[in-house]
Amino acid sequence: MKNSWEYFLIAAEEKSISEAARRVFITQQAFSDQIKRLEQEYGVRLFHRKPQLSLTKAGEIMVRRLQQIKSIENIMNAELLESKEGIRGQLRIGMHSTRAKIIMPDLLVEYQKGFPNVFLTVFHDESDNLEKKLLDGSIDMFLGVNVKPSPEIEKIHLMDAKIYLVISVDLLNPAFSTCINGKYCF
């Protein structure tokens, strides 16, 4: 990734040119010059500078797209390293720990049979955090629920889960009334 892009992302994160410059060990003036050249290159203002540093609409677009580029670059670097070291592949998948305990034991056995040279890593977290990890390239995919719509994410519906009420007959009979055909109504 170009230095000016990296500097821009750091400034957007820090919300301060001086803090961003300190972080990359250059002068504030040199850092500002990088941002100004970037703005000239694209013909847009990336930051509102007063009352405090904040992103313009163009700056928000650039942050989103540069994060995608950074993610793709991270994936490419990982694949090149794997190729260099003779590893045939790696799959980083995320899911909630409860779901993983149910799904992964059987899935791992079948996965290893089909892909013996692909290393599988499972990350446990909530769907919101896994979505962020997917966007920043930390994971390749995740199994989750209630994922927000996003143009950067492709969602594939896998299944409708059946949820059962499991209750003793002693509690069921006094608590619920019987309906047509002997089915219980709530």
How far apart are alpha carbons 20 and 157 in whole angstroms? 41
pLDDT value of position 91: 83
pLDDT in tens, 150-167: 888 888 877 776 766 676
pLDDT value of position 186: 52
Torsion of CA 80, 84, 87, 90, to 10 degrees: -10
pLDDT in tens, 120-135: 888 888 888 888 888 8
More confident residue, 57 or 137: 57
CATH 3.40.190.10 fits 76-143, yes or no: yes
Domain definitions of the chain by residue range = 3-66, 76-143
CA distances in angstroms from 65 to 3, 54, 107, 116, 131, listed in the order given: 15, 17, 34, 35, 16
pLDDT value of position 165: 63
Q: Which two tokens stand for residue 76?
A: 């490419």
pLDDT in tens, 35-88: 999 999 999 999 999 889 999 999 999 999 999 998 888 888 877 877 776 556
Give domain 3-66's CATH number out of 1.10.10.10, 3.40.50.10800, 1.10.10.60, 1.10.3720.10: 1.10.10.10
pTM tops 0.75, yes or no: no
How far apart are alpha carbons 24 and 11 in whole angstroms? 10
pLDDT value of position 71: 85
Which pLDDT band, with edges at 50, 70 and 90, does 22 fall under?
very high
Report the DSSP beta bridge partners of residue 184.
178
